[in-house]
A and B are shown apart, each in its own frame.
Chain A
Amino acid sequence: AQSVAQPEDQVNVAEGNPLTVKCTYSVSGNPYLFWYVQYPNRGLQFLLKYITGDNLVKGSYGFEAEFNKSQTSFHLKKPSALVSDSALYFCAVRDRDQAGTALIFGKGTTLSVSS
């Protein structure tokens, strides 16, 4: 079975500091991995995804994520946080090797960036 863990309910950082939002996954095969962001009272917006190839994936709004197969992780990072990055972030996984499997989401991490 697929699963995603986001071990931190909330991450607090000061504006201008680097940020990391953690994600670990479990699939029986190889993963497709995604990050989404949700602003208050809005739907989820796609940020970036890992399909294959380079382990460092760059996405929207200056975010990037690093795929680490040995640690089964896909942490979201940004070198310099902005107050406007404050939102709810979701990691999601789909098993590449099992056709027809659904996209499974983690429980979400609230990022709070203070000025």
Chain B
Amino acid sequence: NAGVTQTPKFQVLKTGQSMTLQCAQDMNHEYMSWYRQDPGMGLRLIHYSVGAGITDQGEVPNGYNVSRSTTEDFPLRLLSAAPSQTSVYFCASSYSGTGGAEQYFGPGTRLTVT
């Protein structure tokens, strides 16, 4: 199993550009989520999905869109990049979004917006 994979690993954008961060998992997990990690802020939840076709907002959803057309994939779209979106983005998955299911994390995407 590859686990949770993310592409690209690094990305530099100019303000106003859009892009999609890719996330895929091969563990048949129902629950997937996106976090951003900023120094001193821990991980903050952006969006999450409890299954194909179902998504919801997390703590910091503004400026980001998601969709979940398949169980495996959960892309994160930046609509119009801003310097405040410079961060490290992590995708995670688990067999359930409730209970004691631990999440498995991808290696992250380091995004810089200039």
Interface residues of chain A, those whose CB is within 8 Å of chain B, are 9, 32, 34, 36, 41-46, 49, 51, 90, 94, 96, 99-108
Contacts and interface: CB of A to CB of B under 8 A. Distances in A.
Contacts of B104: 46
Q: For chain B, give the interface size range.
A: 20 to 34
Given A90-B43, A102-B48, A105-B42, A51 B108 contact: no
B40 A43 contact: no
20 contacts: A42-B107, A42-B108, A43-B105, A43-B107, A43-B108, A44-B43, A44-B103, A45-B105, A49-B102, A51-B99, A102-B33, A102-B48, A102-B59, A103-B45, A105-B35, A105-B43, A105-B44, A107-B41, A107-B42, A108-B42
A100 B97 contact: yes
Contacts of A105: 35, 42-44
Interface of B: 4, 33, 35, 40-45, 48, 50, 58-59, 90, 92, 97-100, 102-108
Nearest to A95: B98
Nearest to B110: A41
A32 B97 CA distance: 12
Nearest to A52: B100
Contacts of B92: 44
B99 A96 contact: yes
A46 B93 CA distance: 12
Given A43-B106, A43-B108, A44-B105, A49 B43 contact: no
B107 A90 contact: no
Nearest to B35: A105
